[in-house]
């Protein structure tokens, strides 16, 4: 297991109760970070409080935030800035997927997928940019998907489009922020073992696994370690990059 060191660092994570979010929270707390994690669901936040006693001692701050509401997202970031005075890492892990075919996509579904996966990513980065620039330091890691490269073969067209948009956002923000000591990167996972893929048809999952050279889906900890590699202080010269974590499902 990789050993990470984030002592005295303040880390913001959107989508903290998801499979990836929970793994990130655990690893970051173990590495000494002060973690602010958001989620839209009271039930999910309650489950996190039960799982992490650190929520009682102040090392983990859990907040209800619907990232579709940009003013709420911005207020959450600003609150963390006011409390801590600095933000070292932002991980944009909030996301939704779905498996309906293109002809079943509704306008409301399109809006939710694009707003949660891509729009919130843009505005979360915008919200931390000034404090990170003033520090001349920051690490931002966005979560895309293998679907950004394969299209809707694994998920819906809106999801693939939103995740592809994140790749462009990452490059744009890397150009804008890297001169200020801020590294902006993306992790693009293949399917990994979370609730997000639990409803995928079994024949679909069997086909995906058979097409993957590693012959299995990924694990949340494996994706989390890729995120932390990019967020670590040792990363001083990787920016605008996309790190694939897909077991070889898509080789480029």
Active-site residues: which are they? Answer: 159
Closest Cα to residue 244, out of 173, 174, 192? 192
CB neighbour list of residue 232: distance below 8 Å, 6 or more residues apart:
4, 5, 6, 139
Tokens describing residue 102: 């293109």
> Do the Cβ atoms of 210 and 148 come closer than 8 Å?
no
> Do the Cβ atoms of 31 and 7 come closer than 8 Å?
yes
Sheet containing strand 34-39, strands side by side: 60-64, 34-39, 10-14, 89-92, 138-143, 182-189, 242-245
């Amino acid at each position: 297991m990789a050993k990470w060191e984030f002592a005295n660092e303040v880390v913001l994570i959107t989508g903290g109760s998801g499979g990836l979010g929970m793994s990130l929270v655990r690893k970051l707390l173990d590495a000494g970070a002060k973690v602010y994690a958001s989620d839209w669901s009271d039930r999910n936040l309650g489950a996190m409080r039960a799982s992490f006693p650190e929520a009682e001692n102040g090392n983990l701050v859990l907040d209800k935030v619907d990232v579709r509401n940009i003013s709420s997202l911005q207020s959450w970031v600003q609150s963390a800035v006011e409390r801590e005075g600095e933000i070292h890492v932002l991980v944009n892990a909030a996301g939704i997927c779905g498996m309906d075919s293109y002809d079943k996509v509704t306008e409301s579904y399109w809006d939710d997928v694009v707003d949660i996966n891509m729009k919130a990513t843009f505005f979360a980065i915008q919200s931390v940019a000034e404090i990170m620039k003033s520090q001349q330091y920051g690490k931002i890691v966005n979560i895309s998907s293998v679907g950004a490269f394969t299209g809707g073969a694994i998920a819906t067209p809106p999801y693939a489009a939103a995740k592809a948009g994140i790749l462009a956002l990452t490059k744009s923000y890397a150009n804008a922020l890297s001169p200020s000591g801020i590294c902006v990167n993306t992790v693009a996972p293949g399917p990994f073992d979370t609730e997000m893929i639990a409803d995928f048809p079994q024949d679909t999952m069997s086909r995906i696994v058979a097409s993957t050279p590693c012959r299995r889906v990924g694990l949340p900890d494996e994706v989390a370690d890729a995120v932390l590699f990019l967020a670590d202080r040792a990363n001083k010269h990787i920016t605008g990059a996309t790190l694939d974590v897909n077991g070889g499902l898509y080789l480029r």
